[in-house]
Amino acid sequence: MTRTFTLGLSAGPAFPLDLEHSLNDSQRAAVTCTDGPKLVIAGAGSGKTRTITYRVAYLISRGVHPAQLLLATFTNKAAREMLSRVEALTGREAAGIWGGTFHAIGNRFLRQHSELAGLRANYSILDDEDQRDLIKVCVTDAHVKVEEKRFPAPALLQDFISMAFNTQRSLSAVIEERAPHFAMWMPEVERIAARYEAKKRAANALDYDDLLRFWLRLVEDHPEFAARLGRQFRHLLVDEYQDTNLVQARIVERIGEHNGRNLMVVGDDAQSIFAFRGAHYDNILRFPERNPGTEIFKLEVNYRSTPEILEFTNASISCNSRQHRKTLTAHRGRGSLPVVLPVNDAFQEAAFVAERILQLRDEGVALSEIAVLYRAHAHSSLLQAELIKRNIPYDVRSGVRFFEQAHVKDVVAFLKILDNPLDEIAWRRLWLMLPKVGGVTAARLWEALAQAADPLDAVLGSPVLERLSMSARPAFLRFQKDLRALRALLDRPPAELIRAVPETAYGDYLRAKYDAFQARLEDLEQLAVFARPYRTLRSLLSELILLGEVYGRATAAADGDTERLILSSVHQAKGLEWKVVFIIRMCEGAFPSEMALREEDGEDEERRIFYVAATRAKDELYLTHPLMDLSPRGNGGMLLGPSRFLREIRFTLYEQGEIDLAARPAWEDG
């Protein structure tokens, strides 16, 4: 029999909460609701954080001790922000609240109950680099014979193992879906994964996923522990529930079974866009089914965007069939319609965006209040080149600047040695990508080439093989074959040469080194598009070098300058907002992603990504779609249709833009 005692708040004056003036009706209803399972569908810009923090403060004002609240978030920054807001509202320390990321909270439980979890309390936590290093050891111990077939890099193995756990699927199923070209290595991968688990246990070490793995075991394999947590936490609150994976949802809902289902989950199913990281859409969509009696609240008043932008985005997301339906309404006054602008091709698109950004700056809009969003990082390549030419400072939020990416530099290294075989740095970069070739071997190879009249001929000759170990020779023979094929294309346009590089063994290198290697191939295709105007390899390389020099100067000059344009993938932009947003490459095959459409429910997820992009805009929204695809081989192009996400929106909800070529704006010159 359990005896219950009531623990009140520490001594101190009661604090007032101005719920009437601080919250709108829907926020107030969610904040002051009774016990039981609650689902808060918080639309974009609807005051989600305010609602959660007021809910926590309200519960404390009603006598719930802070230590009886568990608030799970997805970033430490979000947890700190919410807890600081609670302290500002209550005037009391919020340190007693169990707030933080799932992994941080799981770690606290495991430290306290390590023996029950089958762990020692002094376990180490492996960071990403530690995990990759340990996997390298496992690969070595497994004596994998890679020979000419490249084995997945440790970072890829790490991703596969993590995805299998977070989606609760088999390792073979994950590899079959994400990287079927590694299916031949499945027995070796499974052996390495098992060895990795064993080594972690032997080292008394956990990786990030283990913090969830053992927490899940505690609540599922030890009902008494789950019941204890249910008694400890009178209320569970989870932010961004649409981003939870299966494991995270199982943990919190299992605890909720033992506290009267006092579980409030907050999020927006229309902004569920992280399936590629393991987020499970049904967690938020079917929450009421799994938790009978769930009361649903919808926050539909948007404080960010104009009515015109919201009408546009509402029309788009309404096309998704599986969703918690809602209609965002604007708190702000009327503004301008979104502009949909067809452009000839990606070059004209980049020129228009750059020119319009300069006009907006002249109109008083700070560069930091403008963002260009895109579905794939590769879509920003031509725009980055245009911004550099126009001396417009910018930050890239979607990855490394295009021309500084490793795989772009790799391909440029191929181009450099074909144009200038004396380029030692380019040769070394290529050699070090070959199996069994390290720094010492690369130095020996260069010694053999340095005295040659034509280093390229020397590399292709047989004497150079004598500088290599027997194990390195098969890959080098393939390298020689590839160089001969590339040299035969020297009289062709540079774009063709660029497209030929991924067809060599370098393509196998990309597949083995990178997750989602298709994105890297798309980057290289965009490099080929960039190269189309150049008739000679030397003229292209000169331009690339000059762009690099401008890069360095622009970056250094802008280090202390906050006025910088933002370039970002849509995924990186989630949760942010800008006065003016451009969404580029709004054409079929680009947005929605052609690859994503092949996946189950892929179109719905792509539409949610588009919805997230459009709802980042506060005042102005521009959407551009090229009419001609410059990617296909040859001198011609392929006609492109506007994205289905534009075609399905009623034409009265946007303004059709056009470019007046007769006016010959500045960006058309040259």
The helix (run of H) or strand (run of E) holding residue 650 is none
pTM over 0.75: yes
Going by C-alpha positions, the residue among 626, 584, 582 that lies closest to residue 342 is: 626
**What pLDDT does 450 receive?**
77
**What pLDDT does 617 receive?**
98
308 vs 666: which has the higher pLDDT: 308
Q: Which residue has the tokens 């902004």?
A: 271
> pLDDT category, 463, cuts 50, 70, 90?
confident
- What does the pLDDT look like over 165-187, one tens digit per residue? 999 999 999 999 989 989 999 99
What's the rounded mean pLDDT across residues 401-422?
A: 89
pLDDT score of 370 more than 50: yes
> pLDDT category, 410, cuts 50, 70, 90?
very high
What's the rounded mean pLDDT across residues 54-79?
A: 92
pLDDT score of 633 more than 80: no
**What pLDDT does 466 receive?**
82
CB-based contact 246:167 (threshold 8 Å): yes
Q: Which residue has the tokens 């969830």?
A: 212
What percent of the chain has a predicted confidence (pLDDT) above 70? Answer: 92
- In angstroms, the first-to-last Cα distance of the chain is 85
**What pLDDT does 447 receive?**
86
- What does the pLDDT look like over 114-159, one tens digit per residue? 999 999 989 999 988 889 989 999 998 888 875 546 889 999 999 9
**What pLDDT does 110 receive?**
94
pLDDT score of 71 more than 90: yes
Contacts (Cβ under 8 Å, ≥6 apart) of 244: 102, 238, 252, 279, 280, 283, 284
What's the rounded mean pLDDT across residues 35-48?
A: 96
Contacts (Cβ under 8 Å, ≥6 apart) of 399: 377, 405, 569
For residues 162 and 159, give the distance between their C-alpha atoms in angstroms, rounded to a whole number.
5
> pLDDT category, 422, cuts 50, 70, 90?
confident
In the chain, DSSP finds a helix count (H) and a strand count (E) of 30, 19
Burial of 314 (0-12, 13-18, 19+ CB in 10 A): buried
- State phi, psi for 466 to the nearest 5 degrees: -65, -20
Going by C-alpha positions, the residue among 381, 417, 414, 420 that lies closest to residue 497 is: 414
CB-based contact 426:417 (threshold 8 Å): yes
What's the rounded mean pLDDT across residues 390-419?
A: 89
> pLDDT category, 553, cuts 50, 70, 90?
very low
Going by C-alpha positions, the residue among 208, 285, 214 that lies closest to residue 243 is: 285
> pLDDT category, 2, cuts 50, 70, 90?
low
Q: Across the chain, which distance is largest between two alpha carbons, in Å?
A: 92
> pLDDT category, 93, cuts 50, 70, 90?
low
